[in-house]
Structure 1
Amino acid sequence: MRRSDVTGDRARRRAPWWLAAGAVLLLATAWGHANPTGSLLVHELLDHPVVHGVAGYLLLAWGLRSLVREPQGRLVVTILLAALGATVFGLVGLVISAGVHPGRDQQVVPAPRQAGVAAYAAEVTTDGDELSPVITVVLRHLDQAPSSRRWEAACVNEDDPGGALAGLRWEGPSRLVLRLESGREVAVPVEPATAAPREVVRVGRRCGRP
């Protein structure tokens, strides 16, 4: 048996592992982006859809390529997968470059401290696009403990008559006040023990409010 045949057989035996690794990585990334538990560690480790998406696609592509026996077939599959990947991730790159990157203009406002309660803060990030940015206010613990959580507390879009978010302040550990450009104020009730909002505030159509 030729050495190339032995190498090809070995690659085909490993192909299911590459495919499984790619699928697991993509599923973990999707779960981390959804983050139903609100875990801060899950958000920090898994909520990187572009980077993990590219890595997962490369693992799947390598696994599919390894399944093909003939060199010509592997070349064709490689070209097709490369073209598909370049198209998909090129479009994603255009969308990202045209929009506002998550985390841009980030602002962190710590809540008043309470004895016996883990420290938490309101974090403001801008997302969406340049014409109609979406501002998200997140409540998060300041430490990196396994029990630390991160919750969406408010979404503000400037298509609302009140305008975009102009500022925010804490009125005690259980009340966060958002100030819009019009001067209107919106309160977010907070549960200090968990740093979770008692109610998620949505301002503007793009945030889901009519």
Structure 2
Amino acid sequence: MRRRVGRKRHQIEWDEIKKIDRRHRTNIRSLSGAIHAPKSTVHRGIQEGKIRSHSNALKPYLSDENKIARLRFFISMLEPSSLQMQPMFKEMFNYVHIDEKWFYLTKESERYYLLPKEDEPYRTCKSKRFITKVMFLAAVARPRFDANGNEEFSGKIGIFPFTCKEPAKQTSKNRLAGTLETKAVLVTKDVIRKCLIEKGYLQFNLNGLNLV
């Protein structure tokens, strides 16, 4: 009597899902409404492998000029001496990769592990919706290992914030006039160049690297 008693399962032609507009297939609820089936049936179909979930990321549109530029960059990263036999990428031991990253000065909610009788921290911010963001310049390179596989250099060169210290012009309820405040700097091409020369020069040369 197995599978012959009880409520009969809802029969679905899973191939018919292809005809449904994708905007009705973004979650289980909208999909179950489009195929007129219970949500449990759709969920069971996912578990049985009849349908699958897919996270789709938006890709940048590449013109023909962009594709050619990417191809040229790819070819420039190949070792010229290896093109005749087996193409190989350059070792890139003399390259430093730099990128800008945004970080908030703090988070709206933080988790701390405290002792039973330790005082809870009291954090304040003028606006929780508009927390100050600071741009950082991160520099990394290829790690170094010796003949035994031991790490000699992790590849982490440094991360430098685009901030400055300025004295407060007027007295307010938050601080007195003349108190040094940390403020974010408007990042431009000249500011990045100055950061690389003044802050990154010593780091790069200590590790024997050249900025490219």
Quickly name the TM-score band, shorter chain normalised. Answer: under 0.3
Larger strand proportion, structure 1 or 2? Answer: 1
Q: Which has the larger radius of gyration?
A: 2
TM-score, scaled relative to structure 2: 0.24
**What TM-score do you get using the length of structure 1 for normalisation?**
0.24
